[in-house]
Amino acid sequence: MSIAANLHQIQTTIPENVTLVAVSKTKPVSDLMQAYQAGQRIFGENKIQEMTKKWEQMPKDIQWHMIGHVQTNKVKYMAEYVSLIHGVDSLKLLQEINKQATKHNRIIDCLLQIYIAEEESKFGLDESELNEILNSTEYKSLQNIRVVGLMGMATFTENKTQIRKEFQYLKSLFDKYKQPSTNNRQLTILSMGMSGDYQLAIECGSTMVRIGSSIFGGR
Ligand SMILES: *Cc1c(COP(=O)(O)O)cnc(C)c1O
């Protein structure tokens, strides 16, 4: 099937309140343009340099989401245009994003990445670290970032019970930390679900799915 057909097919299976991020990492601009022409406006990339090149070449009404692990020293390359950073996993990183956002006189929306998988390799905060960040005076003083939700990646497994358990855990944290809502803390987005598990994620309360291979093919 074509990229446009894949996109339309996926869109029919996603409820209206769930946002689709088309994960286009490693794919050429020509592939992204096919998705763009089919109406897609939100793209997810996991490398800042690659995302920036694509941003330079593509229409300016696209929202670019950084879904990968972010190195502090590279925030400056995307601060001008990035629309949402999914993988924020430290106060230090939030502070750097705040600093770079200030230079561009804007507020950058971020998701805090929570570690929910059983794999060693995945990044993210545990609950006590999440709690510590949200309640720190340093965080509360940041005026050019806004934490708008949480993000997580389930274990890469066929075991649906395991995946469901992890998504339900993330949803429970989301509900628990939704309040209080302040200027820079407005949790409305729960980013969970990829090609293999997005339907399960939606059942568990996801409001944003990040889908790559089911749209663009294997990498
Ligand atoms: C690559 C990636 C995705 C998309 O994965 P697919 O299985 O291709 O849909 C989603 N989220 C993150 C963080 C990724 O790195």
**Most ligand 1 atoms within 8 A of CB, residue of 13, 47, 199, 210 to mutate:** 210
Closest CA to 67 of 53, 83, 90: 83
* 25 Cα nearest atom in ligand 1: 1
**Average model confidence (pLDDT) across the chain:** 97
Do residues 186 and 147 lie in contact, with contact meaning Cβ atoms separated by under 8 Å? yes
Residue 122: per-residue pLDDT: 67
Expressed in angstroms and rounded, the spacing between residue 54 Cα and the centre of ligand 1 is 18
pLDDT tens per residue across span 71-117? 999 999 999 999 999 999 999 999 999 999 999 999 999 999 999 99
Find the range with the poorest average confidence among 52-61, 114-123, 160-169, 200-209: 114-123
Cβ of 67 below 6 Å from ligand 1? yes
Atom of ligand 1 at shortest range from CA of 23 = 4
Reduced to 3 states (helix: H, G, I; strand: E, B; else coil), residue 99 is helix
Q: Give pLDDT, residue 1.
A: 86
Beta strand pairing status for 108-114 and 185-191? unpaired
23 CB under 6 A from ligand 1?
A: yes
Distance 194 CA to ligand 1 centre (A): 6
Beta strand spans in 27-83 (E) = 42-45, 63-66
* 165 CA distance to ligand 1 middle (Å): 19
Residue 103 and residue 167 in contact, taking contact as beta carbons nearer than 8 Å: no
Measure the CA–CA gap between 58 and 52, rounded to whole angstroms: 10
Question: Which pairs with CB-CB distance under 8 Å and at least 24 residues apart come from 161-170?
Answer: 162/118, 163/197, 163/200, 164/200, 164/203, 164/204, 166/116, 166/117, 167/116, 167/192, 167/193, 167/197, 167/200, 167/201, 167/204, 167/205, 167/206, 168/204, 169/116, 170/114, 170/116, 170/204
Where are the extended beta strands (E) located within the chain? 19-23, 42-45, 63-66, 84-88, 108-114, 145-152, 185-191, 208-211
Q: Are 67 and 46 in contact (CB under 8 A)?
A: yes
Distance 135 CA to ligand 1 centre (A): 30
pTM across the whole model: 0.97
Q: Closest ligand 1 atom to the C-alpha of 216?
A: 8
- CA 30 to centroid of ligand 1, rounded, Å: 19
Cβ of 24 closer than 6 Å to ligand 1, yes or no, is no
Residue 59 token pair:
């229409």
CB of 192 closer than 6 A to ligand 1? no
pLDDT digits 0-9 by tens, 2-22: 999 999 999 999 999 999 999
